Structure 1
Amino acid sequence: MLIDLKNRTALVTGATGELGRVMARTLAKCGANIAIHYRSNEAQAVALQQELQSFGSRTAIMKADVTRLESILDMKTVIEEQLGAVDIVVANAVVQYEWKSILEQPIEDYASQFDSCVMQSVYLAKAFAPAMIDRRWGRFIGINTECAMQNFVNQSAYVSGKRGMDGVYRVLAKEIGEHQITVNQVAPGWTISERDRLNKTERSESYEQSVPLKRRGTDQEIANAVAFLASDLASFITGAYIPVSGGNVMPAI
């Protein structure tokens, strides 16, 4: 079986990021047209666009603030003008900040995580779900984290944002499932990215010992899960939180 996304258009938010680039690349290799969202790194967006076009993918790049509904609606207009309606939404963007203890974490960091995890998910649904309902086909894929199950020290802002995102996605799955739209989450573990390969920081023995598969996962392994959920092979999977963490976290029944 092959993952065939021909004639589908996918939006990847945060597509210029370490994981976002590989997700966009993988979806393009599966045949999808790609809307490349970025917040500030225009040069990376242009480079990614050129790479994806070399695969034969139709692409568009657009700058947007995913924490503002108006910005997302403007982005939607640009995508539809250049690529047509969006079939697959990958919510990957998140605000970066320094992790500290609850007593030390600035209040604004909690707000940034709520806005970029919870409200981004809400805004993307409001923007793109109606047309999916009309077509009776669509995919929402949220990028969560193994941290949402671990709740380790210094993770409070990140975890609270991602756990809020989890709630939105589970409810959304129930609300729009009757229209044959699936809503799922991929939860990476601590993942090896292009930055790690460049800096030779792929290995962490202490972390690897906690993982049943005894290694860190790769950005490609995260992207593979996203591509699967985007495809018709996953047409009867919805409402799922799927760790791609080598067994480091295991949701219980």
Structure 2
Amino acid sequence: MLKLQNVSKQFDKKVVLSDINLDIKTGEIVSLLGPSGSGKTTLLNLILGLTQMDQGQIIFNDVDITKTPMKNRGFNIVFQDYALFPNLNSYENIVYGLRNKKGLVSDQELQEYIDFLELKPHLNKKIGELSGGQKQRVALARTLVTKPKILLLDEPLSALDGVIKESIKERIKSIAREFKLTTIIVTHDPEEALTLSDKILIINEGKISQFGTPSEIINEPNNRFVEEFILKQLQIKRHNIYNLFGEKYA
């Protein structure tokens, strides 16, 4: 569905991404994982079209969209801070992106999104009255109603914790499955990537260290960086990893 070929990017002569090649299938959840400054957010912005690459190609459904403007790509993003309008209530935020797209979704479809994310009791609340998890669900609904071809999420769980984080994680999985929606997530947290994703792209210093399933990355790390980054970060989050991969890595 989405193919990146030899993608590279520099800022002020500093190489941020170098020769990135990636294939993502329809409906997959793929996490872009790496330490701060590794280039994962830049890669997300290149896919979105917010930033232009220096070289390489982006192919979507066999069409070269490298030079296609962001507004014409049909992708959409939920930002880390949700970017909701505090002066509008939840419902007004959800339908905001439809104001110039009459007929994009029917009233029935809109209601289905609201019901799917269990937002009906919160539609008349202002954003300041919502919890972090409720804000995240409103941001997801606002994005879903525009029927994106790819859903991009920038650190979607970083402001959440505990039960709320696990709930949103399950929502994201359900969205991808229910709508067959290819989903790309930026995260710095290996536990989030391992428990949320079908595939994980680990980036270090602008280059791909490994691309594979959670099981492949845990059991067959490509290099020392992958092994140390993953296992060191996971030592304080053992229970989820035990549930996924057993005693060896818990």
Give the strand-richer structure, 1 or 2.
Answer: 2
Give the helix-richer structure, 1 or 2.
Answer: 1
Larger-Rg structure: 2
Query: TM (normalized to structure 2)?
Result: 0.35
Query: TM (normalized to structure 1)?
Result: 0.34
Q: Which one has more relative contact order, counting CA pairs under 8 Å at least 6 apart?
A: 2
